[in-house]
Amino acid sequence: MDFHLLIANLTNPTLLFFVLGIIATIVKSDLEIPQASSKFISLYLLFAIGFKGGQELAHSHFNTEIFLSILFGLAIASLIPLYTFFILKRKMSVSDAGAVAATYGSVSAVTFVSAVAFLEAQHLNFGGHMVAVMAFMESPSIIVGVILMMKFDKEQKQKGNLKHIVQHSFTNGSVLLILGSLVIGLIADSKQAEGIKPFTTDIFKGFLAIFLLEMGMVTARRFAAFRKYGLFLSLFAILIPALNGSLVAVLSHYVTNDTGNRFIFSILAASASYIAVPAAMRLAAPKADPGLYIPMALGLTFPFNITVGMPIYFAIIQHS
């Protein structure tokens, strides 16, 4: 691994704001981001990513690589919960195992945003179709997780049927906004779109820094509650994403030769959802403990990916 790259990533201003958020919570500071502001920033980041991706997609021609990329993304999101479920089921209840497996099969839009910033620091671009791939990867893992829970937990009666779960996963606010923004960016007139470019591009990193400041505070609070669950889940939350990201970094070579696209694939495989999946699991797995899968994704996997994981995946891609 290139340690200069690691140091550069660790001194990235947006990441340093994440660390500041953790410190603020540890020292019990009264620093806080108003909830309304936090929600606006979240919506802005999703909108900006989706719109820019749509604009890039509008300037590219649908080809075999785009088709294979979508299929590859769907396969990743389906296979990860399939194998992780059986690892988790050895130590956890079926409901908890299904919810955690779905969490790690799905993707994190915030980690995706951080990956975009990482690529920009390396002066690399990625295909607009990767935004669509990310959006499509939100749902398959939820479906696979629910099917596994229905199959292996004979005593539990699910409160929501599979149709409702699938519908909810696509109408979830974050998924709907990024897909909608992608479509709008795709069909919008290029000259008219230039008018909002300063809003979608120039201020993006500033909003990301504030958002990661809050993520740092949330991470520190939830990580404290997670520690009681032991070493097994802590190791899982770091080693499984590292394995998934590294493996996909190598396998993505068969889908695309573009370094930026391969890096996005690896970070999507390594990330874990803490927005879409928890919302869906409230319906699908009422017995599953959110105190497990949310702190795992947000308290361990997210910090690992944006500090150590990204340089590792990038180095693998460069040497494969």
pLDDT at 222 over 60: yes
For 179-196, write each residue's pLDDT tens digit.
788 889 888 887 888 888
pLDDT at 160 over 60: no
Mean of pLDDT over the chain: 84
**How does residue 177 score in pLDDT terms, banded at 50, 70 and 90?**
confident
Question: pTM for the whole thing?
Answer: 0.77
SS3 sequence, the chain? CCHHHHHHHHCCHHHHHHHHHHHHHHCCCCCCCCHHHHHHHHHHHHHHHHHHHHHHHHCCCCCHHHHHHHHHHHHHHHHHHHHHHHHHCCCCCHHHHHHHHHHHHCCCHHHHHHHHHHHHHCCCCCCCHHHHHHHHCCCHHHHHHHHHHHHHCCCCCCCCCHHHHHHHHHHCHHHHHHHHHHHHHHHCCHHHHHHHHHHHHHCHHHHHHHHHHHHHHHHHHHHHHHHHHCHHHHHHHHHHHHHHHHHHHHHHHHCCCCHHHHHHHHHHHHCCCCCHHHHHHHHHCCCCCHHHHHHHHHHHHHHHHHHHHHHHHHHHHHCC
**How does residue 259 score in pLDDT terms, banded at 50, 70 and 90?**
very high
For 126-138, write each residue's pLDDT tens digit.
988 898 888 888 7
**How does residue 2 score in pLDDT terms, banded at 50, 70 and 90?**
low
| Domain 3-20+36-318 CATH assignment equals 1.10.260 | no
Instruction: Enumerate the domain spans of the chain.
Output: 3-20+36-318
Give the best-scoring range by mean pLDDT among 158-167, 224-233, 246-255. Answer: 246-255
